[in-house]
Amino acid sequence: MSLSMALTKGRLEKKTVEMLDACGYGTEALKDKGRALVFKDSKKDLEYFLVKANDCITYVEHGVADVGVVGKDTLLEGGKYYYELLDLEIGKCRFIVASLPENDLFNKVGHIKIGTKYPNVARNYFLSKGMDVEIIKIDGSVELSPLLGLCDGIVDIMETGATLKENGLIVLDTVCPISARLIVNKASFKLKRKEVMDLIHDLEQEVLRNAAALE
Ligand SMILES: Nc1ncnc2c1ncn2[C@@H]1O[C@H](COP(=O)(O)OP(=O)(O)OP(=O)(O)O)[C@@H](O)[C@H]1O
Ligand SMILES: O=P(O)(O)OC[C@H]1O[C@H](OP(=O)(O)OP(=O)(O)O)[C@H](O)[C@@H]1O
């Protein structure tokens, strides 16, 4: 049976395609893609489509995609009707809490405002600290919000730390590490078990090879 795979476009796209390539999959169409969004694997019975991160979960939950590759950040923010079966160990970064140095929100008395693209992650984090904060949803350039006084601090993704540094923000805490995960539709896992397990096995071998290469 054929498998359909939702890939998160953007930062994870190239690394995911490289992994599939290294596993011997036929991903040429994904590399020379123009404006197309659906691609057939040239070697395996597999179809790919490229979507935004949140939509990856939606397609997998609805069974339109049997499997998907999406960041743990997106999984933590929303969606739950899927199995998360493999850490691909690509797209590594982390969720952090940051602020201007003079705005140490953990020692602030009174109302605290947090800017973030990830309101659920931020709310859960501060609840776990016993702090009642106001969450302000921001869609991008989150680092700008404390600079302009919209909020006291942010919960955002940090990879190299360059964006924080260039904007004079400091890390106050790490919420959790992030990496890309393989998620699987629950029905597909039953009905296409062999195909899904073969894919997981192939990717798992590549995760191990990548880890060994780093040692
Ligand atoms: N430095 C980083 N910043 C953001 N995401 C990163 C970073 N490094 C790895 N990632 C991972 O890549 C995924 C996709 O990020 P990307 O910025 O391409 O899309 P996005 O968050 O939907 O942003 P945009 O709206 O700009 O397309 C994230 O969900 C995260 O898992
Ligand atoms: O630690 P760094 O390597 O600097 O990376 C972190 C930055 O990258 C992401 O933003 P992105 O470029 O996706 O733009 P956005 O703020 O518009 O989402 C993230 O939200 C940070 O701003």
- Tell me the pLDDT of the chain (215 aa) as tens digits: 899 999 999 999 999 999 999 999 999 999 888 888 899 999 999 999 999 999 999 999 999 999 999 999 999 999 889 999 999 999 999 999 999 999 989 988 899 999 999 999 999 999 999 999 999 999 999 999 999 999 999 999 999 999 999 999 999 999 999 999 999 999 999 999 999 999 999 999 999 999 999 88
Q: What is this structure's pTM?
A: 0.96
- pLDDT score at 61: 97
Task: Tell me the torsion sign for CA atoms 180, 52, 186, 192.
Answer: negative
Side-chain-side CA neighbours of 157 within 13 Å: the count stands at 18
DSSP reduced 3-state for 161: coil
Contacts of 201 (CB under 8 A, 6+ apart): none
Rg (Cα) of the chain, in Å, rounded?
19
State the distance from the centre of ligand 2 to the C-alpha of 185, rounded, in angstroms. Answer: 29
Query: Taking the mean position of all CA atoms in its chain, how far away is CA 147?
Result: 26
Substitution site in 11, 74, 117, 121 for ligand 1 pocket (most atoms within 8 Å of beta carbon): 11
Ligand 2 atom with the smallest distance to the CA of 165 is 4
Which one, of 19, 8, 26, 2, lies nearest residue 68 by Cα? 8
**ipTM score:** 0.95
Separation of alpha carbons 151 and 145, rounded Å: 6
Q: Which domains does the chain have, with CATH numbers?
A: 3-91+179-214 (3.40.190.10), 93-177 (3.40.190.10)
Q: How far apart are CA 60 and CA 75, in angstroms?
A: 12
Query: Residue 139 is encoded by which pair of tokens?
Result: 């869609």
Check if 54 has its Cβ closer than 6 Å to any atom of ligand 2: no
Q: Which among 207, 196, 199, 180 has a CA at the least distance from the CA of 71? A: 180
Sequence letter at residue 160:
T
Residue type, 7: L
- Partners of 98 in the β-ladder: 154, 171
